[in-house]
């Protein structure tokens, strides 16, 4: 009887039911679009951060950079004089630790032993400055005649003339090198790039003279798999070419950590420790644990780095998370109230009907249940329409893929201040926005539809429960 009456009443009041369902549908669709866009913003920001510190990294441990003016920041180059005037090219390179003061390699194990740490890997960031070129000896050109007279005692006159030609022609080449722990390939900046040619490091190449080159650097220097690059008189074979997933690569060359330590004369030293937590919910507690137990270090999480992201990505993310969500809440509340008022108004127009049913023996609870049932069905219909509209909106955003810019750093240290190797400049990345719709978002939409129906049913049910059979008799003409 309940479902038969429900079906008849909904068919008889299709227009009113459609109005209530449409109001709920608009609110639910807005929630889906805002939620999916917010998820896309989060994914875009994660992509930006992963391009800096590597996949799977939750935080980094570093030591503050050396103060300006220290000897470590003033490279010195020395060249031999060419007395025979033959010239000849000379070169000298300097390998310097980049960005941060070094930590002892034992600190990696110390960090890894902290509660909540799943894995910890050390790395060494280097900057190589190479100066190469040649001197050309000048020629002395004597003018005609010498100094007049000659001095007392028969001193010979001094020749008059000038030096012509000569000079120096030198080229300065600077590039970044990152020493990676080849036994731990799952952590570190190299994981934010994919090997597009050749291979990555083997686990047994801890001290091998092999390198993986960034694709942009390889193109600039015309490197390919099998080529060799020389760093401080050491020849490295390029075994692979890596392409950054987004933005700039963390370094121009990646080499085994031990080799990097040897080149920089930094035995058993690292500049950055990449940390993965056992649970993403424990990141803050792990950060506190490391800061408490490992002295003299700076711990930076991805959330800390996210605060430094500016540009259109940051602006759009703020709008989606604040204005967008509040707008969704306002629209939903308005939709629920309108649905409730419309349902209550519909009950008022059905006074004769409900009064007659009560006169025939229907209890107030049964009448209320009938009204709530109709409202819940309207809510579910609105939910279905809202999900369809929301999916269409999310698909439109994904299809359009608007490009957002993320600016990182701004005078910070390498890697945007998060401990990754890189260059001392502000970085700007272009990221395409998507709007993924997760099952959780669909479940939220269904829950909102049911809630909207219950809210509307509560309004109407309360109104219906107050009706008396006498009310129906007053309406009889």
**40 pLDDT above the threshold of 70:** yes
pLDDT in tens, 423-466: 344 566 677 778 888 888 888 888 887 887 777 777 666 666 66
- Residue with more model confidence, 199 or 426: 199
Closest CA to 425 of 180, 99, 73: 99
Q: What is the pLDDT of residue 352?
A: 64
| Mean of all residue pLDDT scores within the chain | 75
Taking residues 316-343, report their average pLDDT.
71
Same domain, 321 and 246: no
Per-residue pLDDT, averaged over 138-142, amounts to: 63
Say if CB 57 and CB 274 are below 8 A apart: yes
Whether 192 maps to a domain, the answer reads: yes
Say yes or no: 453 and 321 in one domain: yes
- Give the other-Cβ count within 10 Å of 59's Cβ: 27
Does residue 160 fall inside a structural domain?
Answer: no
Which residue in this structure is represented by tokens 């009204």? 371
Q: Are 280 and 69 in contact (CB under 8 A)?
A: no
Under the banding of pLDDT at 50, 70 and 90, the label for residue 219 is very high
Judge whether 85 lies within some domain: no
Say if CB 367 and CB 357 are below 8 A apart.
yes
Pick from 195-199, 225-229, 366-370: least confident: 366-370
How many structural domains does the chain have?
2
Q: Are residues 316 and 284 in the same domain?
A: no
Domain shared by 470 and 421, yes or no: yes
pLDDT at site 413: 37
Q: Are residues 174 and 237 in the same domain?
A: yes
What radius of gyration do the chain's Cα atoms show?
37
Q: Is 164 within the bounds of a domain?
A: no
Q: Which of 271, 296, 321 is the last residue of a domain?
A: 296
Q: Which of 91-105, 106-120, 434-448 has the lowest mean pLDDT?
A: 91-105
Residues 100 and 214 in one domain: yes
Given 296, 324, 353, the domain boundary residue is 296
Q: Which stretch of 165-179, 275-289, 356-370, 410-424 has the lowest confidence by average pLDDT?
A: 410-424
Q: Tell me what percent of the chain is helix, strand and coil, each rounded to the nearest 5.
A: 45, 25, 30
Q: Are 115 and 70 in contact (CB under 8 A)?
A: no
Q: Is 425 helix (H, G, I), strand (E, B) or coil?
A: coil
Q: Where are the beta strands (DSSP E) in 2-88?
A: 59-62
Q: Which residue has the higher pLDDT, 381 or 56?
A: 381
Same domain? 43 vs 119: no
Q: Which of 243, 270, 296 is the last residue of a domain?
A: 296
Comparing C-alpha atoms, which of 30, 45, 32, 27 is closest to residue 438? 32
Q: Which of 95, 115, 100 is nearest to 60 (CA)?
A: 100
Residues 114, 211 within the same domain: yes
What's the rounded Cα separation, in Å, for the pair 128 and 137? 29
The C-alpha atoms of residue 24 and residue 29 are separated, in whole angstroms, by 9
Assess if residue 153 is contained within a domain.
no
Confirm if 228 and 236 have CB atoms less than 8 A apart.
yes
Residue with tokens 């930006």: 48
- Whole-angstrom Cα distance, residue 393 to residue 403? 17
Q: Are residues 317 and 449 in the same domain?
A: yes
Nearest to 420 by CA among 263, 300, 268, 266: 300
* 438, 384: one domain: yes
Domain that includes residue 328, residue range: 2-51+311-474
Q: Provide CB contacts within 8 A for 388, sequence distance 6+.
A: 29
Residues 382 and 452 occupy one common structural domain: yes
Question: Does residue 82 fall inside a structural domain?
Answer: no
Dihedral-angle region of residue 361 (phi above 0 means left; psi in -120 to 50 means alpha; beta otherwise): left
Mean predicted confidence (pLDDT) in 181-195: 86
Q: What is the pLDDT of residue 53?
A: 58
Q: Give the pLDDT confidence of 337-392 residue by residue, as tens digits.
A: 777 777 766 666 666 666 666 666 767 667 677 777 777 787 788 888 889 998 99
Tokens 């969704």: give the residue: 328
Phi and psi angles of residue 21, each rounded to the nearest 5 degrees, phi first: -65, -35
> What CA–CA distance (Å, rounded) separates 283 from 367?
53
**Looking at the predicted structure, is the pLDDT value of residue 7 above 60?**
yes
Residue 80: inside a domain: no
Spatial neighbors of 435 by CB under 8 A, at least 6 apart, are: 33, 36, 37, 39, 40, 393, 394, 395, 397, 398
Examine the domain organization and report whether 255 and 365 are in the same domain. no
Is 175 a member of any domain?
A: yes
Beta pairing partners, 300: 60
Please compute, for residue 132, the number of CA atoms within 13 A of its CA located in the half-sphere on the CB side.
12
In percent, the amount of the chain with pLDDT more than 70 equals: 60
% pLDDT > 90, the chain: 18
Region 45-51: mean pLDDT is 65
């Amino acid at each position: 009887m309940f479902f038969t009456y429900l079906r008849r009443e909904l068919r008889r009041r299709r227009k009113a039911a459609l109005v209530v369902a449409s109001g709920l549908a608009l609110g639910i669709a807005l929630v889906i679009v805002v939620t999916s866009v917010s998820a896309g913003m989060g994914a875009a920001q994660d992509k930006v951060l992963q391009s800096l510190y590597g996949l799977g990294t939750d935080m980094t441990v570093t030591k503050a950079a050396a103060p300006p003016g220290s000897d470590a920041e003033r490279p010195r180059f020395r060249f031999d004089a060419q007395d025979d005037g033959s010239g000849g090219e000379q070169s000298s390179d300097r390998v310097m630790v980049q960005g941060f003061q070094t930590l002892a390699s034992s600190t990696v194990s110390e960090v890894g032993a902290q509660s909540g740490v799943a894995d910890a890997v050390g790395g060494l960031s280097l900057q190589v400055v190479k100066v190469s070129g040649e001197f050309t000896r000048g020629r002395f050109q004597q003018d005609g005649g010498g100094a007049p007279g000659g001095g007392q005692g028969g001193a010979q006159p001094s020749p008059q003339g000038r030096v012509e030609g000569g000079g120096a022609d030198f080229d300065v080449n600077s590039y970044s090198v990152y020493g990676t722990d080849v036994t731990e390939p799952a952590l570190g900046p190299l994981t934010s790039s994919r090997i597009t040619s050749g291979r990555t490091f083997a686990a047994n190449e801890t001290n091998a003279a092999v390198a993986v080159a960034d694709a942009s650097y390889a193109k600039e220097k015309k490197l390919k798999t099998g080529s060799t690059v020389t760093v401080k008189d050491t020849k490295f074979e390029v075994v692979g070419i890596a392409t950054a997933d987004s933005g700039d690569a963390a370094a121009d060359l990646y080499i085994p950590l031990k080799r990097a330590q040897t080149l920089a004369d930094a035995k058993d030293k690292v500049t950055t420790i990449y940390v993965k937590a056992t649970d993403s919910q424990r990141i803050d507690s792990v950060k506190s644990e490391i800061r408490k137990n490992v002295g003299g270090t700076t711990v930076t999480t991805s959330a800390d780095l996210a605060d430094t992201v500016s540009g259109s990505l940051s602006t759009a993310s703020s709008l989606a998370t604040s204005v967008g969500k509040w707008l969704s809440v306002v629209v939903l509340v308005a939709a629920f109230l309108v649905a409730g008022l419309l349902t209550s108004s519909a009950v008022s127009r059905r006074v004769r009907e409900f009064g007659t049913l009560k006169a025939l023996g229907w209890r107030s609870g049964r009448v209320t249940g009938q009204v709530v049932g109709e409202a819940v069905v309207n809510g579910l219909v609105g939910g279905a329409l809202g999900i369809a509209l929301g999916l269409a909106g999310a698909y439109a955003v994904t299809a359009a893929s608007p490009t957002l810019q993320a600016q990182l750093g701004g005078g910070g240290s390498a890697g945007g201040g998060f401990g990754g190797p890189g260059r001392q400049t502000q970085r700007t990345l272009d990221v395409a926005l998507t709007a993924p719709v997760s099952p959780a978002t669909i479940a939220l939409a269904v829950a909102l539809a049911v809630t909207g129906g219950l809210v509307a049913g509560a309004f109407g049910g309360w109104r219906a429960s107050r009706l008396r059979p006498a009310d129906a008799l007053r309406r009889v003409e």
